[in-house]
Amino acid sequence: MAHLNFGDVEEEVITRDEFPLSKAKEVLKHETIAVIGYGVQGPGQALNLKDNGFNVIVGQRKNSKTWEKALADGWVPGETLFEIEEACKRGTILQYLLSDAGQITLWPTVKKHLTKGKALYFSHGFGITYKERTGIVPPEDVDVILVAPKGSGTSLRRMFLEGRGLNSSYAIFQDATGNAKNRVSALGIGVGSGYLFKTDFKKEVYSDLTGERGTLMGAIQGIFAAQYEVLRSNGHSPSEAFNETVEELTQSLMPLVAENGMDWMYANCSTTAQRGALDWWKKFRDASKPVFEELYREVAAGNEAQRSIDANSQHDYREKLEEELKELRDSEMWRAGATVRTLRPENN
């Protein structure tokens, strides 16, 4: 077990040095990993496990778009690709990677195949943390574990193919076999994690829902829109407004932050930019912190979870979602973005 020191706080983490791929494969050599769902996380995790030499099968609804995607990715019907219930029968570790709404719907089917000694694996703490709302209560004689990559399944796969790893959190909700720690560690390494840091199901879902609605997606879109609209209303062109708002951040500055941190990025910008950033960042923090505090309270109270369940369980939720996404896609800012991206050198 490696240790990370953060001043007054020390964390234990699992790295590839003390838990190499060879050890992970030894731990899971008699296991059949059934990846249930082939949407957001399923493809990346399943393909990485397969390429790393684990025994993996995929369970997906036949003749669906995701079934066709699995076929295109090389999964073979009757050998490595099965209907969901058949995959649940065959698997000793069930990676439950359907959407939160999908997990609620399919839970009766999955639960009846969770026989003694199997493991139920999540990449999101939603179903377990809000079990009073989701009805997902696992049998007591199975391991219940979590590996949550800190990024999309697409990023997980891309980084794996580049020879890199995407950091993940891990958690153990139920250790029925006494082997849950080894199982979750091996799976975390197998799916392509850079390192694994410990959490619990509740902390994972609270941080995840806050992050998605906050800096990862909701807040960043709100900040983008606010700055873009202010620039446009003051006579700046769409190209100038988009480049100053989005393109410079994503293509130039964020890679520097990822490489060595915010302080290093600041140090590699002009002194004028440094002065302005240092003068203004606390104002943005103070303005947005009350919104984040409200957001966290809503997450902790279960209100965000209920809104997601209510919206995503409607029969026409995909159509309604597409309408809302279309509003983003058709906004001037993102139409400008589509044009700007075509002008990048790699696209010409």
3-class SS of residue 41: coil
Domains of the chain: 2-199 (3.40.50.720), 214-347 (1.10.1040.10)
Provide the pLDDT for residue 63.
87
Show which residues are catalytic: 124
Provide the pLDDT for residue 315.
86
Provide the pLDDT for residue 348.
67
**DSSP readout, 220-266?**
HHHHHHHHHHHHHHTT--HHHHHIIIIIHIIIIIHHHHHHH-HHHHH
Provide the pLDDT for residue 5.
77
Within 13 A of 347's CA, how many CA atoms are on the CB side? 7
Token pair 């496990």 in the structure block, residue: 49
Taking CA atoms, 124 is separated from 108, 268, 336, in Å, by 19, 37, 34
Order of strands, sheet of 168-174, starting from the edge strand that comes earlier in the sequence: 2-6, 9-15, 195-198, 168-174, 143-149, 119-122, 93-96, 33-36, 56-59, 81-82
**Structure tokens that stand for 315 in this block:** 């029969």
Digitized pLDDT (tens) for each residue of the chain, 348 residues in all: 677 778 788 888 999 999 999 999 999 999 999 999 999 899 999 999 999 999 999 999 998 999 999 999 999 999 999 999 999 999 999 999 999 989 999 999 999 999 999 999 999 999 999 999 999 999 999 999 999 999 899 999 999 999 999 999 999 999 999 999 999 999 999 999 999 999 999 999 999 999 999 999 999 999 999 999 999 999 999 999 999 999 999 999 999 999 999 999 999 999 999 999 999 999 999 999 999 999 999 999 999 999 999 998 888 988 999 999 999 999 999 999 999 999 988 776
* pTM of the shown model: 0.89
Query: Which one-letter DSSP state was computed for residue 345?
Result: G
C-alpha span between 105 and 100 (Å, rounded)? 9
Taking CA atoms, 219 is separated from 151, 210, 212, 288, 292, in Å, by 17, 10, 9, 9, 9
